[in-house]
A and B are shown apart, each in its own frame.
Chain A
Amino acid sequence: MAESAAARTVDVLTTDGTVLPFEQAPLFNRLGALCVDQLIILVVTGIIVIGSLLLLAGTLGAHVLSLMIVFNFVLRNAYFSFFEVRGGGATPGKHWLRLRVISRDGGALQPEQVLVRNLTREFEVFVPMSVLAAPQGMFPDLPPWAGALCSLWLVVGALFPLFNPRRFRLGDLLGGTTVVSMPRTALGSELVDAPAERRGMTEHEFEFTSAQLGQYGIDQLQVLEDLLRVHDAFEHQETLVAVLRRVEAKIGWDTPTPEARAREFLAAFYAQLRRHLEQKALFGVRQQHKREGRLERGGSPSEPPR
């Protein structure tokens, strides 16, 4: 888990020495962005072909054709570079799917890098596409087996990302760039700041001893956090109750809490557990996992720790 997770992030070191772990974009999203961009190119080219045919058909004839060839070349080769240089690393397709091109060394994305990473597109996208569209047309002079081998070699460029663990495209490799997903975590509300706790109402009812809090670690705290951040789901109450009962059993809670107050209990437990764990972390002890076993009723350990 840790290893594959490490392979999927690009750590960028800021000037003040903080590491920003950028998340590598999934291959599927990148393919989607590519399709959107290709579609835009196709539509624009189509509109211009039809437009110029309608407007200029009689008068210019062959000149339109030559303009078309140049225009198509420029559009096909410059579209990606233009938008990635101007738009800070995102073509319209990438912008839409919230992807960005970044420089792997963490510095500013240089225009050169963008140009180089888009140079190989011809080899990676257009050549394999024409190979797949007309396999026998590529090498008419060769015997079929040799033609098939050559076609296979041409498709390798497109499949290159599948053959390296970090899913680099050939162009990314050359340009020293990579495509990352833009983060989209919204800031949730402060769970500990809940009014009930601030008013000090909870202390009589849901008050936990440090032995009880010590049963759980950071992992469980954050599972509990995820649970408490969900508000709307209807079946959610069942989950809350199930968790409530497990916590009660684990910490040896005396009286079963009524189901209706499950959220209240868990919120109080979360607040105190976080305080407990954060205080320990300040002194250099990060308790990541929960303890084995459970406490007896009343909150004393089933067997003395020492």
Chain B
Amino acid sequence: MTTGGRFELRSAQFRRERQASWQELESLLQRIENSGLGVLSHDELTQLPLLYRSAIGSLSVARAISLDRNLVQYLTGLAQRAHLAMYSGRRRPIEGAALFFARRFPQLVRSFRIPFAIACGSLLAGVLIGYQLTRHSPDRYYGFVPEAAAQDRTPATPTAQLRDILYSKPTEGAALDVFATFLFDHNARIGISCLALGFAGGVPVILLLFSNGLTLGAMAALYASRGLGGEFWAWVLPHGVTELLAVVLCGTAGLVFGAAILFPGSLSRLDRLRTRGRDAGLLVLGAVPMFFLAALFESFFRSLSQDPGLRWTVAALVATGWVLYFVRGASRG
């Protein structure tokens, strides 16, 4: 009683019949992996999905009938490579960015009204409390404004000098772009770390926004106590509108992230993080160019225009622009 060796094994026959198409797919994949889908001719491009489906089919058959481990491993690998080549999602980076800012970003911001309101609220609360407390007892200024941020602007500074800072002319033009890029690098990194802070449940995000608000409020109080309140805001707001908005958006992202960890709802934490984390990251991504714009405004416009009226006008225009962008942008469809 023998098992007989004269008839070809089914799995060997299966392999002999399909092998050519696997090798054809493999050579196509080799070229795609090295230099992208673009190198394929029209015919090869139409061939690819067919070969992919045939490889997937072969894999299912091989798993069922073949005990040749090398064959099954090879087919698994081939199907995986083909799958990645078919669904690689290669895009033109520029096109994606344009689409993002035209449609996705404003829609995204609108969909997170509540965290945005909380982030805004934390910042505004900081400003108000810092302002009130410092108006009543100027000594608190030292507590709210760190030395590095104060830069000679303390209650001890004479009014004239405080005013000079608001209208200081740039000493040399060349330094402006250095200042702008430094500001941008610094602010954008703060914004990005806001997202990472969300990891701790979002509490540090609120604290960060609040304490930044305290600093701003305390400084405003200092200037207001010398009768320079309006001019101070005219100095801050042209770039501050954009910058504070970007900070609040980063804070919103941190809160969204934190909420996904604390309150995963009906999903598992991992799944909730995946959906919400992506949105949070995109908010920060959108905010980074805003920091760039703000830094440009801060270093160029502020030094070039000395007139409070013009400063107010520009600040109002910028604010209107942002409100329109976020409230109306891509609202249809």
Contacts and interface: CB of A to CB of B under 8 A. Distances in A.
Interface stretch (B78-86, B128-136, B150-158, B161-169): B78-86
A174 B67 contact: no
B81 A182 contact: yes
Interface in A69-87: 69-70, 72-73, 81-82, 85-87
B71 A187 contact: yes
Contact of A200 (B6, B87, B177): B6
Contacts of A107: 87
B67 A282 contact: no
A203 B5 contact: yes
Contact of A185 (B1, B2, B70, B96): B70
Interface SS of chain B: helix, strand, loop or mixed? helix
B193 A116 contact: no
A60 to B, nearest CB: 8
Given A225-B69, A274-B9, A69 B181 contact: yes
A110 interface: yes
B78 to A, nearest CB: 8
B83 to A, nearest CB: 6
A139 interface: no
Interface in A89-126: 89, 100, 102-104, 107-113, 115-117, 119-120, 122-123
Contacts of B92: 86
Nearest to B69: A222
A170 B69 CA distance: 36
A297 to B, nearest CB: 17
A174 B88 contact: no
B5 A202 contact: yes
B76 A20 contact: yes
A3 interface: no
Interface string A53-80: 0000000011101110110110000000
A24 interface: no
Interface string B72-103: 01101111110111011111110010001000
Contact of A277 (B67, B188, B199): B67
B317 interface: no
A108 B93 contact: no
A87 B6 CA distance: 50
Given A174-B273, A274-B9, A225 B182 contact: no
Interface core residue of A21, A89, A115 (most chain B CB under 10 Å): A115
A183 B9 contact: no
Contacts of B277: 116, 173-176
A87 B90 contact: yes
Given A203-B5, A210-B1, A278-B10, A218 B278 contact: no
Interface string A209-248: 1100100001001100110010000000000000000000
Given A22-B80, A88-B88, A192 B9 contact: yes
A127 B192 CA distance: 12
Interface string B180-201: 1110110011001101100100
Interface string B1-24: 111111001111001100100110
Contact of B81 (A12, A183, A221): A183
B84 A173 contact: no
Contacts of A278: 9-11, 65-67
Contact of B90 (A18, A85, A113): A85
Interface residues of B, number: 78
Contacts of B81: 182-183
B234 interface: no
B15 A190 contact: yes
B68 interface: yes
Nearest to A173: B273
Contacts of A292: none
B3, B60, B189 — which one has the most chain A CB atoms within 10 A of its CB?
B3
B121 interface: no
A305 interface: no
Interface in A5-24: 12, 14, 16, 18, 20-22
A172 to B, nearest CB: 10
Contact of B178 (A20, A66, A119, A225): A66
**Interface hub of A73, A185, A188, A218 (most chain B Cβ within 10 A):** A185
Given A89-B88, A113-B278, A202-B5, A186 B74 contact: yes
Interface stretch (B112-120, B280-288, B302-310): B280-288
Contact of B70 (A170, A209, A225): A225
Nearest to A83: B93
A191 interface: yes
B53 interface: yes
A70 B184 contact: yes
A215 B182 CA distance: 75
Contact of B91 (A14, A85, A279): A85
Most buried by B among A20, A174, A277, A279: A174
22 contacts: A12-B80, A62-B174, A69-B181, A73-B185, A86-B90, A89-B88, A102-B84, A108-B88, A109-B88, A112-B100, A116-B282, A119-B192, A120-B281, A122-B189, A175-B277, A185-B76, A187-B71, A192-B12, A203-B6, A225-B68, A225-B69, A282-B65
Given A174-B280, A278-B67, 4 more contacts: A16-B53, A20-B79, A88-B89, A278-B10
The 7 lowest CB-CB distance pairs between A and B, nearest first, are A183-B77, A116-B281, A174-B277, A88-B88, A108-B89, A176-B274, A123-B196
